[in-house]
Structure 1
């Protein structure tokens, strides 16, 4: 090594912070190719007897230099925090696993007990994960609290290896009476996709101690999102969930909404650029209504959310005492929608909470072909990923989220009821007599499409003829009382599906819309006045209807009656 290079290195090292606990070479841009080039650094490590943290970020370390550093670390049994991000710039990918194995072996030999390991921004791929696999399984990582592997190019294979290593670490540490309690997991930009995410979900479910999970930009679609949702439900201390720039669609969002219902410590949710869409946003609004008591930040930006759904979200955050920021930028509100959202937040004295709306995409076009393509792609995703997700995970996560085991056996329906449902008529409804209320057995909030279809069929039979009117109202009351008595999430999912089928809310995929008739709106007007129809349910309907008056033109009188009744209901508790 040339004398001027040695002098330059010595000068750089003289600027490092060396203390009893931390040794930092952060950002010095050192090029450590061999043992000689690392000599000064090795000497300082050896002389730092109480070393607890070692920062090597922003340098480039070759295999021989790593081996020299490793030798110095073999006696550092107090080392707890390894900040080793961005330390292989310009190195061959094949070199990195060897260097990592050397460093990991040294930590194991020393008997170090790590609490933090940061290997972010090292493009080591699946082979790099193999380089730390033994370290992660070893007693040196039984005490690990923070694992940061952001932007490492792990891929599906690396994600699976990492998951198995964490599971093994938890198994071994549990056997010793001190199970792994990982708190922070960061693995954005790793191309994990559904298989990698699902594998990690199994580890997360087992570990159960996570407080922060950051997995943005990983190419995860709804099957992987559903697996992660199931895992998050098993981590009651979760505070931060960042899945930005993955693809939820409706199924993934509903699964996440279900998981979030019982998590009482969540402070930050980042589902930006995740295609949450309108029905998903309404589901999350329901969870805001009934849970998430300490939420501070909600990011639903760039999610193809329309104005009505955005307003439902805004209303839901109004009662959150700790709320600081709501990001709905880059959605499909349109200029008037942006103004309406700002006005709504101002009226709730929450204007400063709303992030900029400068990148709004404008009102969506009602493009059936686009919807069809979304549905097709979702089906393809499901076929590709269905084998990668545990069946129990899907049952935990899906929509109404009632597992098959816990659902009562469905009662057999009398032929008369099945005949009515297959071809409804007022005459058949009247002939059912007291069996009419048994129609409630045909609906379940966990199947909102079927429930909405049954409700609309019954409502379409409305007539001013007293006997028919009474029969329709009696039946609708029985059915809706059951559907709206479930959790806020399930009742909101049912109502949003109903609104999609009525053409009042933009749905996802190809949804068969009904031809609205006045009777359907008049039945809803009756229902709104009943006790089972809460102020929150009325608020949801009123918000969506008031933004879609065009769809009600064919039933203008009935629509006005329903709107007026909804407005009164909304004002009852104000």
Structure 2
């Protein structure tokens, strides 16, 4: 090596940070190609007694240099933290796995017990994950608390290898009665997609110890999101959840909402640029009302959320005493919607927590309102056993409509009763409803918040029969009361899912997939006018309906008077103090 190069390296090494057990060469920009180029570095490692952390970030290490460093690490059994991000800039992809394997083997030989491993910003791909597989499975990583693999190009294959390694690590460490308790997992920008994410979800669920999960920009859609959501539910200490820039859509968001309903320690949720949309936002608002007691930050930016849904979120956020920031930028509010949201937050004395709305996409036009979602376009609005649409996947016994439209446990004792009830549902009329008499109890058994599509469909059929004829009016309102009392008595998430489905069918909310909208008649709105004034109809449910009803939509063309009556009832209900 030329004397000038040696002098340059010596000068760089003189800037080494040493202290508190850490040896750091961070950001020195060293080009370490061979054993000669790392002689000084190796000497410092060898002479450092009590070395617990080694930072090589921001340098570029070749195969021969890595082997020399590895040799020095074989005696460092106290090493706990390896900050080895951005360590192979300019290296051939084929070199990186060899370098990683030699350094990982040295840690195993030394008998180290790592707590932190950071290999972010190293484009090593699946082969790189394969190179650290044995390290991750070994006792060296049984004590691992933080694993950072951001921007490593792992891909689906790398994600599967990583998942298997973590699973094996947990299995072996559990056998020794000291199970792996990984707290922080970071793997953004890795093209994991659904298969990689689903594989990792199984490992996460097995560990159950995660506190922070960061997996932004991984090309994951609702299939992978649902798997991850299930895993998150089994990690009760979760504090930070960052899935920014993946594609949730309705199914994924509802799955995440269900998981969040079981978590009490979450402080930061980042679902920005995840296509949460309005139905998903409403589901998350439900969880905000009922859970997440110490939430501080919520990011739902760039999610195609409309004004009314954003207002529902704002109302829910206002109830969180520790809330510091809510980001709804880049959605579809429009100028008036942005102003309404700002005003609402100010009125709740929460204006300072609302992030900028400078990138709002504007209110969607009519054509956008009719578009079906690409991912969920195959949804059948009458499907009774969709994985997530049931909003009550936690209770396997709650699935309904298995045979002839009823559950086995709800089947009426008399077959004739069932026949008459099903005859009414297939072709409803005021006369049939009246003739059912006491069998209307069996009709109520046909609706369940676990199947919001069917429940909304039956409710709208019944309320459409409303008339001012006393006998008909009485029986319709009594039946409506009984059904809504049942549908709104479950969790807030269940009832919000039902109400959002009802709004979609009424044409007041853009939904995903193929869902037939009804042609509204005044009776349906008049029944709701009656219902929202009853004790079983919570104030915040009324606020949800009011947010959507306040928009003048084409659906009300034939029933403007009924709309005004419902609007007035909702406004009065929302002003009531409880």
Higher helix share: 1
Deviations 1:224-270 (A, max 9, x none): 00000000000000000000000000000000000001211100000
Shift of 1:542: 1.0
The aligned residue for residue 393 of structure 2 is 401
Q: 1:549 to 1:368 in 2, by over 3 A?
A: closer
How many Å separate the matches in 1 of 2:67 and 2:397?
Answer: 54
Structure 1 position 65 matched with structure 2 position 65:
yes
Q: 1:192 to 1:538 in 2, by over 3 A?
A: same
SS state of the match for residue 213, structure 1? strand
The aligned residue for residue 426 of structure 1 is 430
Mapped contact 2:390–2:449 kept (Cα < 8 A): no
The aligned residue for residue 376 of structure 2 is 378
The aligned residue for residue 157 of structure 2 is 157
The aligned residue for residue 485 of structure 2 is 481
Shift of 1:536: 1.1
How many Å separate the matches in 2 of 1:122 and 1:8?
Answer: 25
Mapped contact 2:268–2:295 kept (Cα < 8 A): yes
The aligned residue for residue 534 of structure 2 is 530
One of 445, 453, 457 as aligned partner of 1:453: 457
Shift of 1:510: 2.7
Mapped contact 1:504–1:544 kept (Cα < 8 A): yes
Shift of 1:403: 4.1
Shift of 1:509: 2.5
Structure 1 position 315 matched with structure 2 position 315:
yes
Q: 1:245 to 1:521 in 2, by over 3 A?
A: same
Q: 1:530 to 1:366 in 2, by over 3 A?
A: same
SS state of the match for residue 562, structure 1? helix
Deviations 1:169-210 (A, max 9, x none): 000010000111100000000000000000000000010010
The aligned residue for residue 358 of structure 1 is 358
Mapped contact 2:390–2:451 kept (Cα < 8 A): no
Q: TM-score, normalised by structure 1?
A: 0.95
Q: 1:397 to 1:496 in 2, by over 3 A?
A: closer
Between stretches 401-410 and 42-51, larger displacement belongs to 401-410
How many Å separate the matches in 1 of 2:481 and 2:293?
Answer: 32
The aligned residue for residue 272 of structure 2 is 272
Mapped contact 2:378–2:514 kept (Cα < 8 A): no
How many Å separate the matches in 1 of 2:394 and 2:182?
Answer: 29
How many Å separate the matches in 2 of 1:522 and 1:59?
Answer: 71
Structure-to-structure mapping, 1:20-419, within 5 angstroms: 21-367=21-367, 371-372=371-372, 374-375=373-374, 377-378=375-376, 399-404=391-396, 409-412=408-411, 414-419=418-423
Shift of 1:551: 3.3
SS state of the match for residue 12, structure 2? helix
Structure-to-structure mapping, 1:499-510, within 5 angstroms: 499-510=503-514
One of 553, 558, 566 as aligned partner of 2:557: 553
Shift of 1:369: 8.8
Q: 1:459 to 1:531 in 2, by over 3 A?
A: same
For structure 1, the residue ranges without an aligned partner over 5 or more in a row are 383-391
How many Å separate the matches in 2 of 1:440 and 1:275?
Answer: 35
How many Å separate the matches in 1 of 2:166 and 2:370?
Answer: 41
SS state of the match for residue 451, structure 1? helix
Q: 1:380 to 1:166 in 2, by over 3 A?
A: farther
The aligned residue for residue 386 of structure 1 is none
SS state of the match for residue 247, structure 1? coil
Mapped contact 2:124–2:153 kept (Cα < 8 A): yes
How many Å separate the matches in 1 of 2:408 and 2:318?
Answer: 40
SS state of the match for residue 436, structure 1? helix
Mapped contact 2:285–2:312 kept (Cα < 8 A): yes
Mapped contact 1:278–1:506 kept (Cα < 8 A): yes
Mapped contact 1:144–1:181 kept (Cα < 8 A): yes
For structure 2, the residue ranges without an aligned partner over 5 or more in a row are 400-406, 413-417
SS state of the match for residue 132, structure 2? helix
Q: How many residues align?
A: 562
SS state of the match for residue 554, structure 1? coil
Mapped contact 1:151–1:187 kept (Cα < 8 A): yes
Mapped contact 1:158–1:196 kept (Cα < 8 A): yes
